Amino acid sequence: MIQEQGGRGNRPVGDEVSSPGAGPAVPTRPHSQLRSSGGTPIALRNDCPQPVRGQGGSFHEMWRELRPIGRHPDTGGYRRFAWTGADGECREWFKAQTESRGLTYEVDRNGNQWAWLGDPAQGDAVVTGSHLDSVPDGGAFDGPLGVVSSFAALDELRHRNARFTKPLAIVNFGDEEGARFGLACVGSRLTAGQLTVEQAHRLTDGDGVTLPQAMEAAGYDPGAIGPDPERLARIGAFVELHVEQGRALDLSGDRVGIAGAIWPHGRWRFDFRGEANHAGTTRLVDRRDPMLSYAETVLAARREAQLAGAVATFGKIAVEPNGVNAIPSLVRGWLDSRAADQTSLDAVVGGVEKAAREYAAAHGVDLDVVRESFTPVVEFDHALRDELARILGKDPDLTVPVLGTGAGHDAGILSGSIPTAMLFVRNPTGVSHSPAEFAAEDDCVAGVTALADVLEGLACS
């Protein structure tokens, strides 16, 4: 079982740092000109009409380059699983963006990628970024919007001739979604010491490939993985921009929001074991069918979540022997549950397990429940959050609400070690973890501008 710790306070401000990767001089454009004009939002999913940034590597150019990688031609969803070919292509893209800007490229011991402006050894660095991997048939924005916006925000700061007083880094955390090995945020958990090397070595995908084997096959050294406190000690603040995975901003009419807290959440594996038998010849009364108790448990999860004002989902299932004409011997279902507070979450999961045990007993089925991962409530650093609100509050055209979320993020993991904050960009449908996930061009541009403002406020004089 994997568990993270609570948050800690902010850090003091550092000294001046040179910017070796400051790149060619570019004309400064007034801030307001970089905002999109009003009117009908333009979809970024299919066409990338006009580059918003003048410098090479504009938001639109980057988006266009990333768009085909790992995209399934039939579903339109993304399959960028950790350490696979599609993930490798995304990593190559990140490296190319880093080098084209004259930033210093680094891969840390856990396979996370870093692009540095200035010398990390100076300390008190400001870090931004997100992830490039996806859930099965995920959307284009969850993760990549944060990484692309980070590079675009750096371009924007160079347009402004910003004077950096602290090192700045853009990071791509590995395996945020946990789609392949079942555990989310592996790269940041390892770095923060919230996943031990032994636990990481035991992670295995659906084909029996272990995490070390997968890393090695992708050209990374699994022998190096482990906690990285020295790296974290050099970071003064981490700010992750992310597409909102809900409709709070759409309902409030705001383009950009600040994260307040992440709901406590976890994954539980339910193994229902019955008896395999012939689907045509076994009398109903003679069956020990685990599918029945599983089906009843799915309904119980819905009921318990509704009672507690929480959410509970069985989104993944494995059946053995998985034959259309055989009663299953095993039904393995994974429960993902999240709630605003720990008491509600405990009530939901406890209620689902109690019901599942009753249903299993009624059908002569054995049940094992294993908590595979758990993340307690995350309260983002209040001082950093207030600083973001102060910086963004300077823009009279922008109101920036503070939002809670039920989605997990690397920022939530890192909040146990360093001051972290998040910016959310409006998602007009709220849909996420689906090919239909979306953010309008104007809102993405507002997100880049807000991130640039925040980074300027935190890292520049």
177 φ/ψ angles, rounded to the nearest 5 degrees: -80, -25
Shortest spacing between CB 184 and ligand GLV, in angstroms: 5
Which of Mn ion, ligand GLV, none does residue 143 bind to, with CB < 5 to 8 Å depending on kind?
Mn ion
Q: Starting at the edge strand that comes first in sequence, how are the strands of the sheet with 366-375 ordered?
A: 2-3, 366-375, 265-273, 330-338, 311-320
Shortest spacing between CB 185 and ligand GLV, in angstroms: 8
Instruction: Using the minimum distance from each CB to ligand GLV, give the nearer residue, 55 or 420.
Output: 420
Shortest spacing between CB 100 and ligand GLV, in angstroms: 29
Of 162-181, binders to ligand GLV (CB under 6 A) are 177
Work out whether 290 is an interface residue with Mn ion (CB under 5 A). Answer: no
Work out whether 407 is an interface residue with ligand GLV (CB under 6 A). Answer: yes
Q: Are 2 and 134 in contact (CB under 8 A)?
A: no
Work out whether 360 is an interface residue with ligand GLV (CB under 6 A). Answer: no
Work out whether 408 is an interface residue with ligand GLV (CB under 6 A). Answer: yes
Which of Mn ion, ligand GLV, none does residue 410 bind to, with CB < 5 to 8 Å depending on kind?
none
Which of ligand GLV, Mn ion, none does residue 257 bind to, with CB < 5 to 8 Å depending on kind?
none
Q: Is 9 left (phi over 0), alpha (psi -120 to 50) or beta?
A: beta
Work out whether 144 is an interface residue with Mn ion (CB under 5 A). Answer: no
Shortest spacing between CB 50 and Mn ion, in angstroms: 27
92 exposure class (CB count in 10 Å sphere: 0-12, 13-18, 19+)? exposed
According to DSSP, residue 210 is labeled B
Residue of 125, 179, 184, 200 that binds ligand GLV (CB under 6 A): 184
Shortest spacing between CB 349 and ligand GLV, in angstroms: 16
Instruction: Using the minimum distance from each CB to ligand GLV, give the nearer residue, 336 or 443.
Output: 336
Work out whether 422 is an interface residue with ligand GLV (CB under 6 A). Answer: no
Which of ligand GLV, Mn ion, none does residue 184 bind to, with CB < 5 to 8 Å depending on kind?
ligand GLV
Q: Please tell me the number of Cα atoms within 13 Å of 354 on its side-chain side.
A: 8
Q: Pick from 254, 256, 332: which is nearest to 294 by CA?
A: 332
Q: What is the chain's length? A: 461
Shortest spacing between CB 177 and ligand GLV, in angstroms: 6
Shortest spacing between CB 396 and ligand GLV, in angstroms: 34
Q: Is 211 left (phi over 0), alpha (psi -120 to 50) or beta?
A: alpha
Work out whether 142 is an interface residue with Mn ion (CB under 5 A). Answer: yes
Work out whether 143 is an interface residue with Mn ion (CB under 5 A). Answer: yes
Q: In sequence order, which ranges of 67-185 are alpha helices (DSSP H)?
A: 85-100, 144-159
Instruction: Please spell the DSSP secondary structure of 318-376, one letter per residue.
Output: EEES--TTEE-SEEEEEEEEE-SSHHHHHHHHHHHHHHHHHHHHHTT-EEEEEEEEEE-
What residues contact 122, with CB distance under 8 A and at least 6 apart?
Answer: 14, 15, 17, 166, 167, 234
Q: Are 215 and 203 in contact (CB under 8 A)?
A: no
Residue count, binding to ligand GLV (CB under 6 A):
4
Q: Which helix (H) or strand (E) holds 302?
A: helix 290-308
Shortest spacing between CB 432 and Mn ion, in angstroms: 7
Instruction: Using the minimum distance from each CB to ligand GLV, give the nearer residue, 216 or 372.
Output: 372
Instruction: Using the minimum distance from each CB to ligand GLV, give the nearer residue, 311 or 445.
Output: 311
Q: List contacts with ligand GLV (CB under 6 A).
A: 177, 184, 407-408
Q: List contacts with Mn ion (CB under 5 A).
A: 142-143
